[in-house]
Amino acid sequence: AQSVTQLDSHVSVSEGTPVLLRCNYSSSYSPSLFWYVQHPNKGLQLLLKYTSAATLVKGINGFEAEFKKSETSFHLTKPSAHMSDAAEYFCVVSDPRNKLVFGAGTILRVKS
Amino acid sequence: DTGVSQDPRHKITKRGQNVTFRCDPISEHNRLYWYRQTLGQGPEFLTYFQNEAQLEKSRLLSDRFSAERPKGSFSTLEIQRTEQGDSAMYLCASGSSGRTDTQYFGPGTRLTVL
């Protein structure tokens, strides 16, 4: 079975500083992994996805994530946080039927 | 707008009433998924369709819940005899069949059961 653990429920950074949101996964198969973002009162938006190609995946809005099989991790990073990045972020693993299994989410706060 | 749409966006109902939600997927997508998200949690899978066939249902989907996708286009999710525990955001997503295809989410329907 597939599962995802997001290691921090809340992360607070200052504007202009790096962002790191941590995610570990468990999968019986070669996983497909995603990061989605959810802004208040908005739908879930795909940030990036890993599908067994390059291990460093670039997404929208300057975000990227690195797939590390040995560590079963898929951490999300951004070099410089912007106020508009404040939102809830979900790490997601896909099962063989493309059914998504979500982590509990990490709320990112960006301080001015 | 060619994204996934859901209707209504908000629904307030009294315990014991029936409610029905609608999802219109992206037109070229053959798969449609329903998820439920409760406060402070990530979305949880409920069921999915490939074309008009319902291929999988979660154990979360009690017999009070039923979903349909007639003609493989829009889908409806009905909850009968609602309970306070049904209060949640109900999310619909669509995608194409394939191991790694992206799912695109609608804005959700927020259900409040009084």
pLDDT tops 90 at residue A86:
yes
Interface check A44 vs B, CB under 8 A: yes
What digits encode the pLDDT tens for the residues A64-84? Answer: 999 999 999 999 999 999 999
Residue A21, CA distances (Å) to A7, A39, B35 in order: 8, 16, 23
What digits encode the pLDDT tens for the residues B68-111? Answer: 999 889 999 999 999 999 999 999 999 987 656 789 999 999 99
Residue with tokens 């990490």: A106
- Which residues in chain A have Cβ-Cβ distances shorter than 8 Å to B45? 99-101
The pLDDT assigned to A96 comes to 77
Interface check A101 vs B, CB under 8 A: yes
What digits encode the pLDDT tens for the residues B3-27? Answer: 999 999 999 999 999 999 999 999 9
Contact residues, A window 6-35, toward B, CB-based 8 Å cutoff: 32, 34
Going by C-alpha positions, the residue among A72, A110, A103, A86 that lies closest to residue A7 is A103
What digits encode the pLDDT tens for the residues B24-73? Answer: 999 989 999 999 999 889 999 999 999 999 999 998 888 999 999 998 89
Contact present, B6 and B16 (Cβ < 8 Å): no
- Higher per-residue confidence, A54 vs B87: B87
The pLDDT assigned to A18 comes to 98
Residue with tokens 């802004």: A39
User: Rounded to the nearest 5°, which phi and psi values hold at A84?
Assistant: -70, -10
Going by C-alpha positions, the residue among B30, B45, B99, B33 that lies closest to residue A96 is B99
Terminal CA-to-CA distance of chain A, rounded, Å?
Answer: 41
- CB contact set of B79 (below 8 Å; sequence gap of 6+): B18, B19, B20, B64, B65, B86, B111
Q: Kindly state the tokens that stand for B46.
A: 């409920």
